[in-house]
């Protein structure tokens, strides 16, 4: 296996220091990490794919100075070779026939322990770790941008190659193939033929076949990070109702993106999006599906609600998804100190430019193809 980059080694060292500070703050002997999102975060992108049962998942253990992989003997070599080689992790191993539960219980005996999940007498530090991992480092932000381009490319390539009469399941298969081919794990693939999204705002692909329009939505994962985006294709001009709904969804998304700046309140951004819907006689739509959330090491780190009080911080990746009728306009953005960047950008794709208080916001338009 290739040596890890110096930047990734530095990320691990930084996380070790932060976990050490957390342990000293609580005067604890160790931190046990069981949440897969925290595993990815604290290994700077490590994963343990191919293990079907949660009771067999690898875990991590941190002291103030060192960190260990906790793993079943059947998975140890692969996890080290493919995920964490060269990152200074030591090993504590259990025999697969003995099981993880007894191993963890023995590990905690006689120690004051923190854990990111509820476990025995351990102090639950899960919320603290979720808060700590929200803000992405510069290294993580670069990985996120690469991932965003890959997901957007897969969506757009699929839209350019689907045909009328293909089912949602066939199209999801094409999209998933493109993502996996580029090393991206498909976390969620949604395909809506014609106006099925008017009735069901989210759900898995079905045998329903495309006749005129198709909305594709994908969440992809790589390096432990997630991005989400949607694209829409139509064979011939879409009908008037669908086109109007799509126009409104783009305006709502543009308003939400324009308002997403450092230290803004998500509840205020939601209110601005609702005003767009109300002005366009679609005021009920915001109640039918969540319009936005903080993403990152989990697909949804923090859902945005009308009573959300957390302020947006630099280094936060956000998903805004405007769903109106059967239409959808979704992208992932990254909040900077003084600017906001769409990280699921279009390539050769029609664009719609919308001005929000003089600021031009570009939204992906409908790709209209001949049959």
Last residue in a domain, options 133, 157, 192: 133
Residues 171, 69 share a domain: no
Q: What pLDDT score was predicted for residue 196? A: 87
What's the gap between Cα 221 and its chain centre? 7
Residues 20, 102 share a domain: yes
CATH code for position 183: 3.90.230.10
Residues 176, 50 share a domain: no
Distance CA 344, CA 216 (A): 14
Distance CA 70, CA 90 (A): 9
Bridge partners of 213, per DSSP, are 234
3-state secondary structure of 324: strand
Nearest partner of 269 among 280, 286, 257, 278, judged by Cα: 257
Query: Backbone phi, then psi, for 225, in 5-degree steps?
Result: -115, 155
- Find the domain containing 126 and state its range: 6-133
Residues 266, 160 share a domain: yes
Distance CA 129, CA 115 (A): 10
Q: Which residues contact 217 (CB under 8 A, 6 or more apart)?
A: 188, 189, 190, 191, 192, 228, 229, 230, 321, 328, 330
Residues 169, 116 share a domain: no
Last residue in a domain, options 107, 133, 159: 133
Q: What pLDDT score was predicted for residue 72? A: 94
Judge contact between 321 and 289, C-beta under 8 A: yes
Nearest partner of 114 among 104, 105, 126, 123, judged by Cα: 123
Judge contact between 262 and 313, C-beta under 8 A: yes
Give the alpha-carbon dihedral of 115, 120, 123, 125, to 10 degrees: 30
Last residue in a domain, options 113, 133, 153: 133
Nearest 5 degrees, angle CA 299-CA 304-CA 308? Answer: 135
Residues 149, 111 share a domain: no
Q: What pLDDT score was predicted for residue 49? A: 84
Residues 290, 179 share a domain: yes
114 in a structural domain = yes
Strands 59-62 and 30-33: antiparallel
Q: What pLDDT score was predicted for residue 3? A: 61
Q: What pLDDT score was predicted for residue 1? A: 46
* 10-residue averages of pLDDT along the chain (371 residues): 78 96 97 96 92 92 96 93 92 92 93 95 96 96 97 98 96 98 97 89 93 97 97 96 96 96 96 95 91 97 95 97 95 95 96 91 95 70
Burial classification of residue 111, based on how many CB atoms lie within 10 Å of its CB (0-12 exposed, 13-18 middle, 19 or more buried): middle
DSSP code at position 259: T
Q: Which residues contact 55 (CB under 8 A, 6 or more apart)?
A: 99, 100, 101
Residues 309, 179 share a domain: yes
Residues 86, 107 share a domain: yes
Rounded to two decimals, what is the model's pTM?
A: 0.94
| Domain count within the chain | 2
- Where b means 16+ CB within 10 Å and e means fewer, 238-247 reads beeebebbbb
Residues 45, 99 share a domain: yes
């Amino acid at each position: 296996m290739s040596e890890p980059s110096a930047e990734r080694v530095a990320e691990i060292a930084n996380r070790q220091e932060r976990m050490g500070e957390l342990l000293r703050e609580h005067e604890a002997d160790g931190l046990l990490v069981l949440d897969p999102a925290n595993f990815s975060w604290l290994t700077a992108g490590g994963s343990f794919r191919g293990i079907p049962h949660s009771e067999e998942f690898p875990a991590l253990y941190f002291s103030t100075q060192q960190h260990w992989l906790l793993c079943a003997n059947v998975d140890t070599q692969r996890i080290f070779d493919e995920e964490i080689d060269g990152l200074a992790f030591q090993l504590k191993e259990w025999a697969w026939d003995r099981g993880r539960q007894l191993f963890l219980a023995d590990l905690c005996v006689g120690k004051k322990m923190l854990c990111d999940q509820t476990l025995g007498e351990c102090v639950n530090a899960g919320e603290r770790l979720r808060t700590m991992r929200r803000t992405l480092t510069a290294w993580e932000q670069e990985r996120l941008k690469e991932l965003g381009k890959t997901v957007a490319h897969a969506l757009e390539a699929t839209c350019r190659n689907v045909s009328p009469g293909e089912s949602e399941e066939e199209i999801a298969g094409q999209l998933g193939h493109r993502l996996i081919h580029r090393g991206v794990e498909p976390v969620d693939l949604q395909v809506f033929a014609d106006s099925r999204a008017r009735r069901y705002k989210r759900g898995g692909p079905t045998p329903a076949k495309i006749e005129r329009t198709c909305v594709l939505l994908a969440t992809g994962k790589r390096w432990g990070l997630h991005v989400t985006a949607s694209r829409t294709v139509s064979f011939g001009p879409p009908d008037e109702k669908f086109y109007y709904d799509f126009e409104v969804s783009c305006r709502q998304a543009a308003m939400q993106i324009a308002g997403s700046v450092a230290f803004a309140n998500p509840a205020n951004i939601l209110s601005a999006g609702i005003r767009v819907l109300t002005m366009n006689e679609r005021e009920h739509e915001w109640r039918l599906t969540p319009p936005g959330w903080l993403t990152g090491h989990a697909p949804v780190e923090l859902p945005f609600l009308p009573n959300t009080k957390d302020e947006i911080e630099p280094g936060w990746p956000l998903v805004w998804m405007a769903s109106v009728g059967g239409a959808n306009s979704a992208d992932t953005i990254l909040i900077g100190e003084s600017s906001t960047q769409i990280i699921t950008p279009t390539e050769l794709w029609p664009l719609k430019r919308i001005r929000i208080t003089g600021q031009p916001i570009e939204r992906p338009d409908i790709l209209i193809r001949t049959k």
